[in-house]
Structure 1
């Protein structure tokens, strides 16, 4: 599957918002309580749909039951400015079932300008939230993987990158031994200044 950079960026912002909501100052998981509170404020939150969609989308967390992966996979391949048109909310109807409480929230959203597009984005975010993390990483790093293969074929890094690893480890060892020697010498000088005999 291919996830567009647009949806990958949204996913990152969405996940950050979820992380911010999850724990209180004492480290207790309060996600459900906070989401319940935000759902009570839906009529106000719709004003933020354009500027901060991820902050509003979280209220639909676990409100979707996805039934057609192909429909949702197709959505995630789009950018919001695709020439062939961003998928309409109605086009996703066969891809999921909304929980009753989520249907009530969706009804409020649809009364606001841009509500349909926001719900389409939200469906994509909720679908991604249920995917393995590696799915989005792989789609974002396809080109990087190609570059890695090129380096292996040219033999620059050696098998499994072992040559580069040895070089970096050697540099670290030299730096660490140099730092240790400098600290030892400074400590010896200080002891001499305090009247102790110099150590060999």
Structure 2
């Protein structure tokens, strides 16, 4: 999987923004408190959605869970001018109630839908532990193993504090595991059904 230039450029900035919020000058983990403050500031940050989307997008960290990974995998390979609509993309996402309130605020802005699509892609990449090749540059890996582990630990702590089952988070992040657990279909049927669903939503079908 190769990222589009758009997501390749923004992903490192998004992760760096989260890292900046994670600890204070004494090394204490203050991510939860700082994210809460950032969410309160969203109405005042709308003007930054186009110029610095990663600085606003972190307010949604932990608010999206992905029930159709194939859609997000396709999204992060696209440039901004090839995005699907937000109405299409949100069918593949479960939005936490607190995040839905922020979504409603963002959608009052003309650039809101584009920003939300960007945010979903960035959050998906942040939460995913898959190895990716950044394209078209020869940039360093998106995150080191240590950084990914730190984010996983933070996500687990955050999910517990918010009362969300972390096991369910993993299930929604990986649709293959979810389907296998429920015994809904075979791997072949899942791939075919996923491809059919993507085609219906306007995504290019992969032969």
TM-score (norm 2): 0.63
Superposition misfits of 4+ residues, deviation over 6 angstroms: 141-144
2:31 matched to which residue of 1?
31
| 1:161-172 alignment runs, 5 A limit | none
| Cα shift at 1:88 | 1.3
2-structure distance, mates of 1:13, 1:139: 14
How many residues are paired up?
139
Aligned to 2:64: 64
Whether the 8 Å CA contact 2:8–2:134 is kept in 1: the answer is no
- Change beyond 3 A, Cα 1:93–1:3: same
C-alpha distance in 2 between matches for 1:120 and 1:11: 13
Deviation, structure 1 residue 142 = 9.9
Return the match for 1:92 from 89, 93, 99: 89
Q: CA deviation at 1:94?
A: 2.0
Determine whether 1:114 maps to 2:108: no
Q: What is the correspondence of 1:1-150 to structure 2 with a 5 Å cutoff?
A: 1-81=1-81, 85-132=82-129, 135-136=131-132, 138-140=133-135
Contact 1:71 1:94 in 2 (8 A): no
Contact 2:67–2:93 (8 Å) recurs in 1: yes
CA RMSD of aligned residues (A): 1.9
Tell me how far 1:93 sits from its aligned partner: 2.2
Please state which structure has a larger fraction of its residues in helix.
1
Distance 2:50 2:88 in 1: 21
Instruction: Work out whether residues 7 and 76 of structure 1, in 8 Å CA contact, stay in contact via their aligned partners in 2.
Output: yes
What secondary structure sits across from 1:74 in the alignment? helix
Q: Which runs of 5+ in 1 are unaligned?
A: 145-200
After TM superposition, the score normalised by the length of structure 1 is 0.65
